[in-house]
Structure 1
Amino acid sequence: MRPVDLLNGRLKLRHLVLVVVIAEQGSVLRAAEHLRLAQPAVTRALREAEQFLGVALFTRGPRGVTPTLFGEAFIEHARTVLAELRRAGERIDELNRGDVGTVTIGTLLAGSNVLLPRAIAALKADRPGITVIVQEATFDTQVPRLLDGEIDMILGRLNPIEDQPALRQITLYSEPVRLVARAGHPAQTLPGLTLPDLLTYPWVLPLEQTSLRHELEQVFRNEGLELPGNRVECTSILTVRTLLRDTDMVAALPELVARIDPDLALLPVPLASVRRLVGVTFPAHRPLTPSARLMLDHFHAQAAELTA
């Protein structure tokens, strides 16, 4: 098979759907049940795809099927094609109806507690028919889903993307990261509070794969300190807030999170080397849907109000 042969019409959309569903279900039988098709029809379609491509896409075993090296590569591209087709359908529907659509946002800690809910509220007031889906995860986890078209954008502290030309970023505002504890925390009464003073308390740190964690590690190294041994690792803002409010834990959070929460207090220990830019990350070569463009407009508007 030559690459150009993929365009001759023999490989059809149903082959892509079937291969992806087989991979997700782990067996031809479960894929057939999921698609409400007869198992022989699914088996025949898989055989057609493999014969056309000239390679085996799955290895068969007693408990189902496993993608081969060729299968993994084909499934990755098939998912991208299907995601783009879904986006095409959504975009046509949005353009046709004007006020209905879906925007899916991957969110990080920064921006999720203040900017995101304000922007969503403004968007829903403007276009109530648009559905907003918010999914929280680390940046590295979000990027593959962004490139596959499963989410429209990532909102949060901007991570370095110099080695990822498939991504582009827009800066919305600069927000310091500060050390935070509960209001009335005993550390607030210590004169000349320093980072070593805070090591006597438990900490909440971001997960290891986050850029904020790496930057905090550098802060501790610069001070000649080890990371707190008594710590919890978490990026859920709700969990972090509850731990801070109900215990003597210390955490590094975007400044706005603490400023709008009367139960939290900023500690006067600077984190000068921690980056402060909050913004949005997109695929570099895929246009935004109308709903995503409206969401971005509201991000800009709310960011301007926060920094006015």
Structure 2
Amino acid sequence: MRAIDLLNGRLKLRHLVLVVAVADHGSVLRAAEHLRLAQPAVTRSLREVESLLGVELFTRGPRGMTPTMFGDAFVEHARAVLAELRRAGERITGLADGEVGTVTIGTLLAGSNVLLPRAIAALKAGRPGITVIVQEATFDAQVPRLLDGEIDLILGRLNPIGDLRGLRQITLYSEPVRLVARRGHPARDRPGLGLADLLDYPWVLPLEQTALRSELEQVFGAAGLALPGDLVECTSILTVRTLVRDTDMIAALPELVARTDAEIAPLPVPLEAVRRQVGVTLPAHRAPTPSARLMLDHLRREAAEITGLVEAG
């Protein structure tokens, strides 16, 4: 099959929808139920796609349908095409009235508890018809979905994008990272408290694939120290804050996260080497939808106010 054969009209939009549904649901039967089609019709359409491509997209087994390497590749592109079509529909709607739409935000720890809620509230006050979807995950997990068009932007501490082409980043503000503990933590009574002294207590650290975890590892290494042996790995802000409040655990949190909880406070151990840039990561070659552009505008406005809060200490 030549690539141009996909453009001769035999490959239909319904084929893309069907293949993605089979991949998502793991069986022809569940895909048919989801699409409200008869199972024979789904089976016949799947055979049409495989015949057109000249390859098998799924292997059939007792546990359902598993994508082959050809299936994985085709599903990836099918998702991107369908996402672009959804975005095209939203753009037309947005240009028509500017009152409805959807913006999907992938969020990281920094910016999620102050900046994002304020920006969402401001957006909804002016455009109540816009639906905002917030999904939390690590940066590495968010990037493929951003590139596929499933999310519009990633908000949080800016990670180095390295060799990941097709991304651009916008810095919104700088925010220090602090080591924090509950206000009655016994470490607060130790004179001349240093990083080494904090190894006597349990810690909660970000997951290994996060930028903040890497930077904390560098801080410990520069001090000639190993990572704490007694630790929990977690990126859920609610879980981290509860562990710090209710136990002797120590965590590294963005300053605004720590400042919004009256029961925890920074420890007098600086983290000067940790990066502080909070911003958004966007696709480099895809314009934001009208809804996403409005969200960006509100993020910028709220970030300008937050900059004043951070600088005021």
Q: Normalized against structure 2, the TM-score is what?
A: 0.95
1:33, CA displacement in angstroms? 2.2
Q: Which residue of 1 aligns with 2:306?
A: 306
Aligned partner of 1:166 in structure 2 is 166
Q: Report 1:1-308 matches (<5 A).
A: 1-308=1-308
- Give the unaligned 5+ runs of structure 2: 309-313
Moved >4 Å (runs of 4+): none
1:269-297 superposed Cα distances (whole Å, 9 cap, x missing partner): 11111111000000111110111111111
Question: Distance in 2 between the 1:135 and 1:69 partners?
Answer: 28
SS in 2 for 1:272: coil
| 1:65-109 CA-partner distances (Å, limit 9, x unpaired) | 221211111111111111111111122122222111111111000
Partner letter of residue 236 of structure 2?
Answer: S
* Paired amino acid for 1:93: T
Instruction: Provide closer, same or farther for how the CA distance between residues 202 and 66 of structure 1 changes in structure 2, counting only shifts above 3 A.
Output: same
Cα distance between partner residues in 2 of 1:209 and 1:222: 20
Q: How far 1:29 sits from its partner (Å)?
A: 2.2
CA distance in 1, matches of 2:267, 2:299: 28
Letter matched to residue 176 of structure 1: P
Q: Deviations over 1:163-214 (max 9, x none)?
A: 1121100000111111011123222222211001111111110011111111
Task: Measure, in 2, the Cα distance between the counterparts of 1:153 and 1:92.
Answer: 20
Structure 1 residue 30, shift from structure 2 partner = 2.2
SS in 2 for 1:88: helix
Between 1:279-288 and 1:43-52, the stretch displaced more is: 43-52
TM-score normalised per structure 1: 0.97
Deviation at 1:232, TM superposition (A): 1.1
Task: Give 3-state SS (helix, strand or coil) of 1:229's partner.
Answer: coil
Aligned residues: 308
- TM-aligned CA deviation for residue 259 of structure 1: 2.2
CA distance in 2, matches of 1:261, 1:63: 47
Q: CA deviation at 1:63?
A: 3.6
Partner-residue secondary structure (3-state), 1:192? coil
Residue 31 of structure 1: SS of its match in structure 2?
Answer: helix
Q: 2:36 corresponds to which letter in structure 1?
A: R
- For 1:4 and 1:216, the matched residues in 2 are separated by 50
SS for the counterpart of 1:85 is helix
SS at match of 2:45: helix
Distance 2:129 2:58 in 1: 42
* C-alpha distance 63-241 of structure 1, shift in aligned 2 (>3 A): closer
SS in 1 for 2:105: strand
One-letter identity of the residue aligned with 2:211: S
The aligned amino acid for 1:102 is T
Equivalent residue letter for 1:115: L
Cα deviation, 1:1-20, whole Å, max 9, x if unaligned, reads: 21112111110001111111
Partner SS state of residue 200, structure 2 = coil
